[in-house]
Amino acid sequence: MFVLLFYDVKEKRVSKALKTCRKYLTWVQNSVFEGELSPALLAKLKTDLKKQLCEEEDSVIIYTWRSERYTERTIWGVEKGSTTPFF
C-alpha cells in the first residue's frame, strides 16, 4: 500500500522519529515521508514510532492508499527529499 506519514514531535525526539521513518519510507520534506509498504511493515513502523513518542506532546498522521496509482504529486519550488530511499 502507498503511505504518506507526517509527524510533529518535540525537538528532543525529532532525530529518533526521523531515523525510524527513514528505515521504512522515503523522506520528502521536513517531517513528511512517503512510500510503498506491506501491511506488516506498516504495523512495524507504527510500533517503532509509538515506542519513541509521547502521546501527550507529539502527533503523527498516516494516510494509506491501496496503490500509488491513484495519487498525483505536484511540487512547487525546491524538492527537498530525494526520490530514492535513504540507506
Query: For residue 6, what is the enclosing H or E element?
Result: strand 2-8
Q: Tell me: the pLDDT tens digits for 25-77?
A: 999 989 999 999 999 999 999 999 999 999 899 999 999 988 666 666 666 77
Cα 49–chain centre separation? 10
Alpha carbon distance, N-terminus to C-terminus of the chain: 21
What pLDDT, on a 0 to 100 scale, did the predictor assign at position 47?
95
What pLDDT, on a 0 to 100 scale, did the predictor assign at position 43?
96
Q: Tell me: the pLDDT tens digits for 69-80?
A: 666 666 677 676
What pLDDT, on a 0 to 100 scale, did the predictor assign at position 46?
95
Dist CA 42 CA 59 (whole Å) = 17
What pLDDT, on a 0 to 100 scale, did the predictor assign at position 86?
45
